[in-house]
């Protein structure tokens, strides 16, 4: 019994020594092995058909932007960014040239056409779900409804709002790419149908992927 326990470490040590030698041999041949691996990898790559489309294309389409241009007789302009985050669209950016500060309605509209002097060409609120106008996050509302923006005394507003029920770049009925964005003269009351009684249009932009 004592003999056994004393002898056991010897085979273990031999095994370790052999393993070390084996590792050394592998290292010595690693250059050849690497070359053979590369050849096999190349063969596999040419023989295997392309897999599913790469994910980055979808990720890149999940953002959009819009440049706001003033309507006739106004100076309101801005830059907006849209990003799909956790199933809703975050809207960020800056709007300048708002008259006398105050609070202004802000929506995505159904048509990406700002050609009319008063931007009436952008149509009504973006409403793919055929719902009532309202306030995002509080019951029924248009997919294009976003909270009012508030300008400082310098006439500029930092936009930080969101959209619910809309998507970016997927080609679905809810896709905001190609739609319009409008900043209004007055505040949206979140109740009057179907406009929120936000008044005239100070600026208009077209949402573009990117
Ligand atoms: Cu509007
Ligand atoms: Zn609305």
Q: How far is the CA of 125 from the centre of ligand 2 (A)?
A: 5
Residues within 5 Å of ion ligand 1, judged at the Cβ atom = 107, 182
Torsion of CA 54, 57, 60, 61, to 10 degrees: -140
* Mean pLDDT, the chain, whole residue set: 82
What is the CATH number for 86?
2.60.40.200
* pTM of full prediction above 0.85: no
For residue 154, pLDDT beyond 80: yes
Q: How far is the CA of 185 from the centre of ligand 1 (A)?
A: 10
List the Cα angle 5/10/12 in 5-degree steps: 95
Higher-confidence residue: 1 or 133? 133
Q: How many domains does the chain have?
A: 2
Same domain, 121 and 147: yes
Containing structural domain, residue 117: 63-209
Distance CA 132, CA 210 (A): 30
For residue 48, pLDDT beyond 90: no
Same domain, 204 and 133: yes
Same domain, 29 and 101: no
Q: How far is the CA of 82 from the centre of ligand 2 (A)?
A: 18
Same domain, 110 and 162: yes
> Ligand nearest 126 Cα, by number?
2
Q: How far is the CA of 3 from the centre of ligand 2 (A)?
A: 90
> Ligand nearest 190 Cα, by number?
2
Same domain, 23 and 67: no
User: Residue 137: inside a domain, yes or no?
Assistant: yes
User: Residue 102: inside a domain, yes or no?
Assistant: yes
Same domain, 160 and 201: yes
User: Residue 57: inside a domain, yes or no?
Assistant: no
Model confidence at 58, in pLDDT bands (50, 70, 90)? very low
Q: For 30-45, how does the pLDDT look when each residue is reduced to its tens digit (9 = 90+)?
A: 444 444 454 544 444 4
Q: For 165-189, how does the pLDDT look when each residue is reduced to its tens digit (9 = 90+)?
A: 999 999 999 999 999 999 999 999 9
Evaluate the CA torsion angle 15, 18, 24, 26 in order and state its sign: negative
């Amino acid at each position: 019994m004592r003999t056994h326990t004393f002898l056991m470490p010897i085979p273990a040590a031999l095994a370790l020594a052999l393993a070390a030698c084996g590792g050394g041999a592998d290292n010595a041949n690693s250059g050849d092995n690497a070359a053979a691996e590369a050849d096999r990898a190349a063969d596999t790559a040419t023989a295997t058909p392309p897999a599913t489309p790469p994910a980055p294309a979808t990720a890149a389409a999940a953002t959009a932007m819009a440049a706001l241009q003033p309507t006739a007789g106004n100076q309101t302009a801005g830059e907006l960014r849209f990003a799909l985050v956790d199933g809703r669209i975050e809207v960020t950016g800056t709007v300048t040239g708002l008259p006398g500060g105050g609070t202004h309605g802000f929506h995505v509209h159904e048509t990406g056409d700002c050609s009319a002097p008063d931007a009436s060409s952008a149509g009504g609120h973006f409403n793919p779900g055929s719902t009532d106008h309202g306030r995002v996050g509080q019951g029924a509302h248009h997919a294009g409804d976003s909270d009012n923006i508030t300008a400082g005394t310098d006439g500029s507003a930092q936009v930080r709002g969101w959209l619910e029920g809309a998507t970016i770049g997927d080609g679905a009925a809810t896709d905001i790419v190609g739609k319009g964005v409008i900043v209004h003269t007055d505040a949206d009351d979140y109740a009057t149908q179907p406009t929120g009684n936000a008044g005239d249009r100070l600026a208009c932009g077209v949402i573009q992927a990117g």
